[in-house]
Amino acid sequence: MDLFGTKTEHLKSSKQTPLAERMRPHNLDEFIGQQHLVGTGKLLRQAIEQDKLISIIFWGPPGVGKTTLARIIAEVTKSEFHSISAVTSGVGDLRKIIEKADFNRNSLAKRTILFIDEIHRFNKAQQDALLHSVEDGTLLLIGATTENPSFEVISPLLSRCRVYTLRPFSDEEIGKIINRAIDSDNILRKLNVQLDDQTRQALIHYSAGDARIALNAIDLASQLASPDSNGYRHLTKPLIEEVLQKRTLIYDKKGDYHYDIISAFIKSIRGSDPDAAVYWMARMLEGGEDPKFIARRMIILASEDIGNAHPQALVVATAAFTAVDYVGMPEAQIILSQAATYLASVPKSNAAYLAINQAMQDVKESQPEPVPLHLRNAPTLLMKQEGYARDCKYPHDYPGHFVEETYLPADKKGKIYYQPTDLGYEKTIKDRLNRLWKKRNNKE
């Protein structure tokens, strides 16, 4: 069998069958990649080989073997295999399969595996329809998802499954898959397909860890390439680039990659690395991210992670958002780059962020104290007679525009929420507040 081989000669030799399907493996020894799951001695491999499986959710990016592993499990365990897509199937389809699975179990003593591709697209009612059959073992569920199952699969169903995370193929693994296809596929051998090292490296680069992209590119390029005088079809780097148009970046504006990359972007700015910030921003923009989303996140960061260490950061971030809104892409990327590199390069402080978090926690956990009378507003004579605003000291009437006064409720007297750092402009703020605190302490 080939690396991605199929069980029948019919599929192997059919030009209508995509190369990725023709080269699909049907046992673990032929499967490349995911060695953290199916390597020798690993838990999943042992469970498959010993036929001691519970329902499974495979979570990972496209083209990393989720469907292939599901088929291998069915083959090794000699189970009846049903495959549906959550995009095109509904509860009615599930009920038919569950009825067949019930018959298989009770009448034939045979296991049924239901593979649901893109299971995250099933709504709650559709997922609920699976619960009883998964719970009582009528069928073994194998779900595949590119989205975080913690958010997309209902808790009752998730608790009945074991989640396995699949990783993108490494360059070495993609290279092995490419070599096996060129060397082993009957149709490619009949076409005398040739692949030089430069083209092979370009194909690995453009596939971005997705085996299906690599194999589909070879499939199409081999049909487009013209044979030379000796009958060989040479797949060249320009031909591969034409087939793929450009490298396919793994980025889903609504999925985990979206949150992972924006997280890397924010952490790079927070860590004062403008080069990393620009790189991750480029990944987002190339993946089609809304530039205003990036600009909004920088506004938040300007207060959360820079704050009063460099107050101008908030001004720059806000101006960047306005400019991006005015200009639009592609020129907006220049504005975003300026803002990101600026924010990454200036002093950092999260003191304002910590201050409001602590104050919010105090508000939630303690009884609300009344506003001290001297701090209350007194718009009417009755309020003044009740003592509202009485003895309130007006700071501008005192030297330095400061006067010793108590502004917190009695139970919070002396509480310090904002603790400025010694970085950037915040050191100036800290020095001034220290002087004022000393005056208050001396007075008290």
Check if the beta carbon of residue 153 is closer than 8 Å to that of residue 55. Answer: no
Residue 366 DSSP class? S
Q: Which fold has domain 34-165?
A: Rossmann fold (3.40.50)
Residue 246 scores a pLDDT above 60: no
Q: How far is CA 250 from the centre of its chain?
A: 10
The radius of gyration of the chain from alpha carbons, rounded to an integer in Å, stands at 32
Q: Mind listing the pLDDT tens digit for each residue in 381-394?
A: 766 666 666 777 76
Average pLDDT (4-33) is 73
Closest CA to 308 of 350, 356, 358: 350
Give CA separation, 173 vs 193, 204, 353, 422, in Å: 20, 9, 45, 50
The residue ranking higher by pLDDT, 354 or 10, is: 354
What token pair was written down for 326?
A: 């005015």
CA-to-CA distance for 82 and 138, rounded, in angstroms?
13
Residue 81 DSSP class? E
Helices (H), 55-141: 66-76, 91-108, 124-135
Q: In what order do the strands lie in the sheet with 80-85?
A: 80-85, 112-117, 140-145, 56-59, 162-165
Work out the angle at residue 267's Cα, subtended by the Cα atoms of residues 265 and 268, and round it to the nearest 5 degrees.
65
The answer to whether the peptide bond before residue 330 is cis (omega within 30 degrees of 0) is yes
Kindly write down the DSSP assignment for every residue of 191-255, as one continuous string. TTEEE-HHHHHHHHHHHTT-HHHHHHHHHHHHHHSPP-TTS-EEE-HHHHHHHHSS------TTS
pLDDT given for residue 363 in this prediction: 80
The model's confidence at residue 15, banded by pLDDT at 50, 70 and 90, is low
Q: Please, what's the b/e burial string for 368-391 (b: 16 or more CB within 10 A of its CB; e: otherwise)?
A: eeeeeeeeeebeeeeeeeeebeee
Q: Mind listing the pLDDT tens digit for each residue in 266-292?
A: 999 999 888 999 999 998 888 778 889
Work out the angle at residue 53's Cα, subtended by the Cα atoms of residues 49 and 54, and round it to the nearest 5 degrees.
170
Q: Which fold has domain 256-345?
A: Zinc Finger, Delta Prime; domain 3 (1.20.272)
Check if the beta carbon of residue 320 is closer than 8 Å to that of residue 338. Answer: yes
Q: Which of 176-185, 202-211, 221-230, 372-381 has the lowest mean pLDDT?
A: 372-381
**Kind of pairing, strands 56-59 and 80-85?**
unpaired
Average pLDDT (54-80) is 93
Average pLDDT (159-177) is 93
Q: Report the CATH architecture of 171-244.
A: Orthogonal Bundle (1.10)
pLDDT given for residue 387 in this prediction: 66
What token pair was written down for 194?
A: 């040739």
Check if the beta carbon of residue 278 is closer than 8 Å to that of residue 337. Answer: yes
Burial class (CB in 10 A: 0-12, 13-18, 19+), 421: middle
CA-to-CA distance for 155 and 149, rounded, in angstroms?
9
pLDDT given for residue 440 in this prediction: 65
Q: What is the mean pLDDT of the chain?
A: 85
> Can you say whether the dihedral through the CA atoms of 84, 120, 164, 247 is positive or negative?
positive
Q: Which fold has domain 370-443?
A: post-AAA+ oligomerization domain-like (1.10.3710)
**Kind of pairing, strands 112-117 and 140-145?**
parallel
Residue 317 scores a pLDDT above 70: yes
Beta partners for 195?
Answer: 235
pLDDT given for residue 256 in this prediction: 53
Residue 259 scores a pLDDT above 90: no
Residue 247 scores a pLDDT above 60: no
The model's confidence at residue 72, banded by pLDDT at 50, 70 and 90, is very high
Q: Where are the domains of the chain?
A: 34-165, 171-244, 256-345, 370-443
Residue 18 DSSP class? -
CA-to-CA distance for 401 and 395, rounded, in angstroms?
5
Q: Mind listing the pLDDT tens digit for each residue in 394-421?
A: 667 677 777 677 767 777 777 777 888 8
